Chains A and B, each alone.
Chain A
Amino acid sequence: MKRRYWVILAMLFIVPGLMLTASCAKKAVKPEAAVSKTDDSAKKVPPAPPAPDDAGKSATLSAREKFMKQDVNFAFDSAVLDATAQAILKDKADWLKKNADTATTVEGHCDERGTVAYNVALGERRAESAKAFLVNMGVPAAKMTTISYGKEKPLDPAKTESAYAKNRRAHFVLK
C-alpha cells in the first residue's frame, strides 16, 4: 500500500521532471557572483506544467524539482563552499525548514581528475560540508544523510573544464 503511494508520488515528480529537462537542458552553473547566480537560476525555472488535478500540487512539485536539480559546485580538490554555494544552500535550508517532514540525501561527487579512493574521500568531504552548512542554518541533522560517489557518477562524461566543473558537486535527493 505504502509502496504504491510512493511510486505514484515518484511518477508525479519524474514526468514533469522530464519535461523540465527537455525544456532547459543547457546552461551550466557558472560560479560567479552569488546574487546574480540565484536570480539567474530563479529565472531559469519555467512555470511548472499544469498538473492533471490541482495547481497547488504542481507548484510544490516544481519547488521540489528545483531543489533536486540545483547542485552546489566546488573548485578542484576542494570542499570549501564559496559565496555561490552558500547562497544556494541558504535557499535549500529555507525550503527544508518549510518542509520539515522531508528527508534529504546529500551526495558528494568529484570530477574524473583524481584517483579513485581519494575522490571518494573528497566527495564525502563535499557532502559533509554542505550538510554542516544546512545544519548551521537550522535544518535538523537527523533529516539528512550523506553519501559519496567519488568520481563514479559524473553528470557530464566529457573531458572538458566545463564538464569537470559540473561534476564537482553536492547533489540533493529528497526522499
Chain B
Amino acid sequence: MVDSGNAGCGKTLAVKHTLLVLGIIMVGLLSTGVAFGADKYDYIDINNPLLRKVPIAIPFFKPASGNGAESETAQTGAILLSDTLSFTGYFKILDRGSFLVDDRQFDVAAPMFKGWTTVGAELLVTGSVALNNPQVEMELRLFDTYNERQLIGRKYTGNVKDIRVMIHRFCNEIMGLLTGSTGLFESKIVYISSGSGNKEVYICDFDGYNPTQITHNQSINLSPAVSHDGKWVAYTSYSKGKPDLFIQNISDKRTSVVDKKGMGISPAWVPGRLELSASLSFSGDPEIYLLTGTGKVINRLTDSPGIDVSPTWSPDGNKMAFVSRRGGTPQIYVQNMNSGQADRITFQGNNNTQPEWSPKGDKIVYTALEKGGGFNICLLGVDGKGLMQLTRGQGDNESPSWSPDASMIAFSSTREGTSRIYVMTAYGADQRRLMSTPGQQSEPKWSPGVTN
C-alpha cells in the first residue's frame, strides 16, 4: 500500500525522506471521503484579525492491545498533537473532561459525530496506536463533525522515538488543509543566545525544542538567516576582529567569509535561490549587494549616500524591501528589481527598521519606535496601507520574523526583563514566550526545516 493521497512529487520526497533520514514510513492513506487538496476548505483565514478559534476535540488515542506502554503512548501522543495545534493560536482545544464519548470504546475510523457536535467540536482528531517496541504504528484521522466526513487519514509506522515527527507531519497536513499552507511544524528558528557567555548562533524547532548551538567562536555573532533549503546559515560575526558576513553549512560546518573592507551585515536569502543580499560597506557607506551562496558579489542593488540595510525579498523575488536613511530617518522602502525604482512605504514615526516580507507576499512586518520611546512590531501592506500595531505597552519588541506558512510571527521582547523570544499569530494574538534558556535571546529568524 502506498500513499496515494499526495501529489507525485511530494510522495517521492516524503517516502525518500522518511526512509533514509527518519526511518518513518507513511504507510497509507486511510480511506477518506475527500482527496487531499481536491477540495478547498476555508476553515481558517489567517488574514482575518477577528478570527474565531476553531473548536477541535482530540481524545486520547486508542491503544490497540491496551498494554501499559501502549496506553501511555496513546495519551502522550494525543497531548503532543493538542499542544502542537494549540501552538498555532488558531485552535480551541476542547477539554477532554467534557467529552461524552468514552475514548476507549469509540470507533476511530467511524466516530458518532452527534456526540462530538454536542460538546461543541467542529473538528475531531482520532488516533490509534499499536506499539511493538521499538516499532510503533499510528493511525491518525481528521474529521469534520458537522459535515460528518473524514478530511484526512494517515497511517505512520516507525521507531518510537520518531512519534514527535509523525505527529508534526500530521499536524502539517491539518494546517495545509485548513489554511492552504504547510511546513510550520517542520520549520526551525535560528536565533542569537548569550547563554554560553557570548552571543552565538543557535537553532531550535518551531516550538523552541531541541536548541542547538551552531557557532562556537566566542566572539559576537548577529543576525542569522537560513537559506530556503535549510542547509546554510548566514550571519555577522566579529570572530575575525570586525563585523564580517559568514555563510556556514549547518551540518558540515563549511564556511565562507565575505572578506572585504568595512562591515557585512543583515543577510537575507533570495526565495528559492542559493543567493543572498546583505549590506556591505566596502565602498565607503553601507549599500545592499546581491551575493552568491559563497559570498561573491554579483551586483550592487542600492546606490544612495548613507545607511542602506536589512533587505528582505518578496516571495517571487521581484521586489526587495529594505531600510534606508535617504529621507533623513530610517524608513522602509520597496524597490522594484526590474525598474530599480524604490518607494518609501512607512510614514509614521522616525525610526522604522527590520522589515520582513510575508511568505504570502501581501504584507511586511517591521519594528517601529513609538513616540513614547518603546519599540513595537507593526504590520503593513506592501503598498504602505493598512498599518496595524501588533505589540504594545510591554517592553521593547524587535526582530519580527514570519513562519514559513505566514500563520505566525516570532519576535524578541524585553517584556519580562531580559530579552527572550516570543511568538504570536500573524495578527498579533496569543503572544507567548517560546523558550526559557540561560542568557538573553534575540534576533529570531524563522526558517524552513533543515534537510540533508
Contact residues of A with B, CB < 8 Å? 77, 113-118, 120-122, 124-125, 128, 147-150, 152
Chain A residue nearest in CB terms to B242 = A147
List 12 A–B pairs whose Cβ atoms lie within 8 Å, in order of A's numbering.
A113-B396, A114-B369, A115-B353, A116-B399, A117-B266, A118-B307, A118-B310, A118-B323, A121-B281, A122-B307, A148-B243, A152-B222
Cβ of B416 to closest chain A Cβ, rounded Å: 15
A120 to B353 CA separation, bound complex (whole angstroms): 13
A124 touches B281 (CB 8 A): yes
Known contacts A125-B306, A148-B263: does B399 contact A115 (CB below 8 Å)?
A: yes
A114 touches B263 (CB 8 A): no
A115 touches B222 (CB 8 A): no
Across the interface, which residues of A come within 8 angstroms of B354, CB to CB? 115, 117-118
A117 touches B220 (CB 8 A): no
Across the interface, which residues of B come within 8 angstroms of A150, CB to CB? 222, 243
B351 touches A114 (CB 8 A): yes
Chain A residue nearest in CB terms to B367 = A115
Across the interface, which residues of B come within 8 angstroms of A122, CB to CB? 307
Question: 1/0 contact trace for B240-273 toward A, CB 8 Å?
Answer: 0111000000000000000000110110000000
Contact residues of B with A, CB < 8 Å? 199, 220, 222-223, 236, 241-243, 262-263, 265-266, 279, 281, 284-286, 306-307, 309-310, 323, 329-330, 350-351, 353-354, 367, 369, 373, 375, 396, 398-399, 442-443
Given contacts A116-B399, A118-B307, A120-B222, 13 further A-B contacts (CB under 8 A): A114-B353, A114-B369, A115-B310, A115-B375, A115-B398, A116-B398, A116-B442, A120-B236, A121-B286, A121-B309, A124-B281, A124-B286, A128-B284
Across the interface, which residues of A come within 8 angstroms of B242, CB to CB? 147
A114, A118, A128: residue with the most chain B Cβ atoms closer than 10 Å: A118
A152 to B220 CA separation, bound complex (whole angstroms): 8
A147 to B264 CA separation, bound complex (whole angstroms): 12
Cβ of A165 to closest chain B Cβ, rounded Å: 14
Q: Which of A77, A117, A124, A149 contacts B350 (CB under 8 A)?
A: A77
Across the interface, which residues of B come within 8 angstroms of A120, CB to CB? 222, 236, 243, 263, 265
Across the interface, which residues of B come within 8 angstroms of A128, CB to CB? 284-285
A124 touches B223 (CB 8 A): no
Known contacts A77-B329, A116-B442, A147-B242: does B263 contact A121 (CB below 8 Å)?
A: yes
A116 to B399 CA separation, bound complex (whole angstroms): 9
Known contacts A77-B329, A120-B222: does B307 contact A125 (CB below 8 Å)?
A: yes
A121 touches B398 (CB 8 A): no
Across the interface, which residues of A come within 8 angstroms of B241, CB to CB? 147
Known contacts A118-B353, A120-B236, A125-B307: does B375 contact A113 (CB below 8 Å)?
A: yes
Cβ of A76 to closest chain B Cβ, rounded Å: 9
Across the interface, which residues of B come within 8 angstroms of A124, CB to CB? 262-263, 281, 286
A121, A124, A148, A149: residue with the most chain B Cβ atoms closer than 10 Å: A121
Q: Which of B223, B284, B329, B350 contacts A116 (CB under 8 A)?
A: B223
Chain A residue nearest in CB terms to B284 = A128
Across the interface, which residues of B come within 8 angstroms of A147, CB to CB? 241-243
Chain B residue nearest in CB terms to A147 = B242
Cβ of A130 to closest chain B Cβ, rounded Å: 15
A148 to B285 CA separation, bound complex (whole angstroms): 12
Cβ of B404 to closest chain A Cβ, rounded Å: 22
A147 to B336 CA separation, bound complex (whole angstroms): 32
Cβ of B307 to closest chain A Cβ, rounded Å: 5
Chain B residue nearest in CB terms to A146 = B262
Cβ of A92 to closest chain B Cβ, rounded Å: 22
A42 to B113 CA separation, bound complex (whole angstroms): 85
- Closest 9 pairs between A and B when the two form their complex, measured CB to CB: A117-B266, A115-B353, A121-B307, A118-B353, A121-B286, A117-B265, A121-B309, A115-B354, A120-B265
Across the interface, which residues of B come within 8 angstroms of A77, CB to CB? 329-330, 350-351
A113, A117, A124, A125: residue with the most chain B Cβ atoms closer than 10 Å: A117
Cβ of A40 to closest chain B Cβ, rounded Å: 29
Across the interface, which residues of B come within 8 angstroms of A118, CB to CB? 307, 309-310, 323, 330, 353-354
Known contacts A113-B373, A116-B223: does B351 contact A121 (CB below 8 Å)?
A: no
Cβ of A28 to closest chain B Cβ, rounded Å: 20
Across the interface, which residues of A come within 8 angstroms of B199, CB to CB? 152
B369 touches A113 (CB 8 A): yes
Known contacts A125-B306, A147-B242, A148-B243: does B375 contact A117 (CB below 8 Å)?
A: no
Chain B residue nearest in CB terms to A122 = B307
B262 touches A117 (CB 8 A): no
Cβ of A129 to closest chain B Cβ, rounded Å: 11
A148 to B223 CA separation, bound complex (whole angstroms): 15
A125 to B285 CA separation, bound complex (whole angstroms): 8
Cβ of B388 to closest chain A Cβ, rounded Å: 19
Across the interface, which residues of B come within 8 angstroms of A115, CB to CB? 310, 353-354, 367, 375, 398-399
A46 to B37 CA separation, bound complex (whole angstroms): 79
Across the interface, which residues of A come within 8 angstroms of B310, CB to CB? 115, 117-118
Cβ of A123 to closest chain B Cβ, rounded Å: 9
A124 to B242 CA separation, bound complex (whole angstroms): 11
B309 touches A117 (CB 8 A): yes
Across the interface, which residues of B come within 8 angstroms of A116, CB to CB? 222-223, 398-399, 442-443
A172 to B241 CA separation, bound complex (whole angstroms): 16
A124, A128, A149: residue with the most chain B Cβ atoms closer than 10 Å: A124
Across the interface, which residues of B come within 8 angstroms of A117, CB to CB? 222-223, 236, 265-266, 279, 309-310, 353-354
Chain B residue nearest in CB terms to A152 = B220
A105 to B67 CA separation, bound complex (whole angstroms): 70
A73 to B54 CA separation, bound complex (whole angstroms): 54
